């Protein structure tokens, strides 16, 4: 019987208040002493599958990005919650996973990849004699990842190894793609966090194409990352470390979850910018206030239209188009370059959207149609249930046959955990289904615990939004206003008009 050889988890967002894998001591305080009941139930349920393996070999854990929440929380808080996961997943005597862990950074923990890349570059410079040409460190790894001294000093490696009995664990980092190939070479599984499926993460490339019409669009993973890494790193992975501005970003993220709060946020930022410019002696010229408000509304609309907020479908037409583009171009090229050709069969696993699904799509990245599985996510992005949002665990056997165990869906009245495949179910899928059914108690406990915390986090998010709306010290009073004011001055036109004493301008 086929065993579980790989377990893929993604979008854990350890440390985030809206992650149901993060324990909360109070409404807004992360509990670093007691793990989330969902985290405990998840590892218990996975244990029922792992313990049923016929081979004593433990499965390999694949962490497919957004493991640590660095965009909205400090690294120290995220790391302490990750500790709770390590203590149970790699505890001496009850270890669930093999000592080799694959890590594919996402957009919210992208900074860990950038730190590793810069560390490798520094080490290379240190080993290069003066007078010898220095080569830049690549912005992407091979499909089999990196496993060297620099990787051993990566944060996740150090966090795991400091636990008793975990000094043998090593983390292999692959970015933006991890590729595993079956022994016969005919079947390949590629893991990617999923952010490059969305155009917003290639904003710099798009901007260059508009400003410089002769710009050649990158077509490989190195080019996509090289042009856009600074944008991804700044806005999606380091703002949580930015003092009071980081705290304000968290509140802004939350307010975008409710239309009325979004409107209030836009009005508040517009007023704050106007007040700041008047205080600094600046001028909002004719139409300036309208332009500022339009910018804020456009940014808010752009954020609201991201794939995770398309809550009526598991994958929007724009998301499907982005998936096709990523598979057909950079993934195909990387497979051809490293494996010599595209495989007969390809499994593509990603997360990022927080909407688990399975689908078969055609792509030139494989001779046969590609099996696509999405892991969903363990965070709550709204103040009410969204039926397509939830989380799944993707499991693969030695042949790289993949199944998806849907652990929960928001608002589902059916507590049953379901097992899905992108293609017709095979022997591995039948085995996992039988095991889930045989251990219904453990899986139902996970499903029920998730449903309880999802509803709790809806309330927490709604309460936090209300507090932001009522607070005098709300987003708009931080250094972010200075940035917005500079932007307003940059886009208004000095046409010699008489200054508007109200600071609001005329349309």
Domains of the chain, earliest start first = 6-206+307-463 (3.60.21)
User: Residue 507 and residue 501: Cα distance in Å, rounded?
Assistant: 15
- Give the distance, in angstroms, between the CA of residue 58 and the centroid of all CA atoms in the same chain: 26
User: Residue 304 and residue 378: Cα distance in Å, rounded?
Assistant: 19
pLDDT, one tens digit per residue, over 272-287 is 655 555 555 544 444 5
Q: What are the start-end ranges of the E strands in 354-470?
A: 357-361, 370-374, 390-396, 402-409, 418-420
pLDDT in tens, the chain (507 residues): 899 999 999 999 999 989 999 998 866 688 888 899 999 999 999 999 999 999 999 999 999 999 999 988 888 999 999 999 999 999 877 899 999 999 999 999 999 999 999 999 999 999 999 999 998 899 999 999 999 888 887 899 999 999 999 999 999 999 999 999 998 889 999 999 999 999 889 988 888 887 888 778 889 999 999 999 999 998 888 876 776 666 667 777 777 777 777 777 777 766 665 555 555 554 444 455 555 556 555 555 555 567 777 778 999 999 999 999 999 999 999 999 999 999 999 999 999 999 999 999 999 999 999 999 999 999 998 888 888 999 999 999 999 999 999 999 998 756 678 999 999 999 999 999 999 999 999 999 999 999 999 999 998 888 888 887 877 555 544 444 444 444 444 433 333 333 333 332 232
- Give the distance, in angstroms, between the CA of residue 243 and the centroid of all CA atoms in the same chain: 22
- Give the distance, in angstroms, between the CA of residue 302 and the centroid of all CA atoms in the same chain: 18
Query: What's 410-424 look like in SS3?
Result: CCCCCCCCEEECCCC
């Amino acid at each position: 019987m086929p065993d579980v050889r790989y377990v893929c988890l993604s979008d854990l967002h350890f440390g985030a208040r809206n992650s149901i894998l993060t324990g909360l001591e109070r409404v807004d305080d992360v509990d670093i002493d007691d793990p989330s009941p969902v985290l405990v139930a998840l590892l218990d349920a996975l244990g029922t599958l792992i313990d049923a393996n016929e081979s004593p070999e433990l499965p390999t854990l694949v962490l497919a990005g957004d493991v640590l929440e660095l965009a909205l929380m400090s690294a120290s808080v995220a790391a302490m919650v990750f500790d709770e996961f390590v203590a149970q997943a790699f505890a001496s005597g009850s270890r669930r996973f093999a000592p080799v862990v694959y890590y594919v950074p996402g957009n919210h923990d992208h900074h860990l990849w950038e730190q590793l890349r810069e560390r490798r570059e520094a080490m290379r410079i240190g080993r290069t004699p003066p007078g010898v040409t220095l080569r830049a460190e690549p912005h992407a790894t091979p499909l089999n990842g990196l496993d060297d001294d620099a990787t051993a000093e990566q944060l996740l490696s150090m966090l795991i190894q400091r636990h008793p009995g975990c000094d043998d664990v090593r983390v292999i980092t692959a970015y933006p793609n991890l590729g595993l190939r079956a022994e016969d070479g005919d079947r390949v599984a590629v893991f990617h966090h999923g952010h490059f499926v969305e155009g917003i993460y290639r904003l710099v490339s798009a901007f260059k194409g508009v400003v410089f019409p002769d710009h050649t669009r990158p077509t490989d993973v190195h080019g996509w990352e090289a042009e856009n890494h600074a944008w991804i790193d700044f806005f999606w992975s380091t703002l949580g470390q930015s003092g009071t501005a980081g705290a304000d970003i968290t509140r802004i993220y939350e307010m975008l979850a409710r239309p009325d709060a979004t409107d209030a946020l836009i009005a508040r930022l517009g007023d704050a910018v106007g007040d700041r410019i008047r205080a600094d002696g600046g001028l909002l010229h004719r139409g300036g206030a309208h332009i500022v408000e339009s910018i804020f509304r456009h940014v808010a609309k752009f954020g609201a239209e991201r794939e995770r907020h398309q809550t009526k479908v598991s994958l929007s037409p724009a998301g499907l188009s982005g998936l096709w583009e990523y598979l057909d171009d950079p993934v195909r090229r990387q497979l051809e370059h490293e494996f010599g050709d595209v495989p007969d069969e390809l499994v593509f696993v990603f997360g990022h959207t927080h909407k688990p699904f399975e689908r078969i799509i055609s792509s030139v990245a494989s001779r046969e149609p590609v099996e696509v599985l999405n892991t969903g996510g363990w965070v709550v992005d709204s103040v009410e249930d969204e039926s397509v949002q939830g989380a799944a665990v993707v499991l693969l056997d030695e042949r790289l046959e993949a199944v998806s165990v849907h652990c929960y869906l928001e608002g589902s009245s059916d507590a049953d955990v379901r097992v899905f495949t992108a293609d017709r179910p095979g022997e591995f899928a039948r085995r996992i289904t039988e095991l889930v059914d045989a251990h219904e108690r453990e899986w139902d406990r996970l499903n029920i615990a998730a449903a309880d915390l999802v509803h709790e986090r809806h309330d927490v998010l709604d309460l936090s939004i209300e507090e932001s709306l009522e607070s005098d010290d709300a987003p708009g009073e931080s250094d972010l206003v200075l940035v917005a004011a500079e932007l307003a001055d940059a886009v208004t036109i000095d046409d010699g008009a008489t200054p508007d004493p109200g600071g609001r301008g005329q349309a």
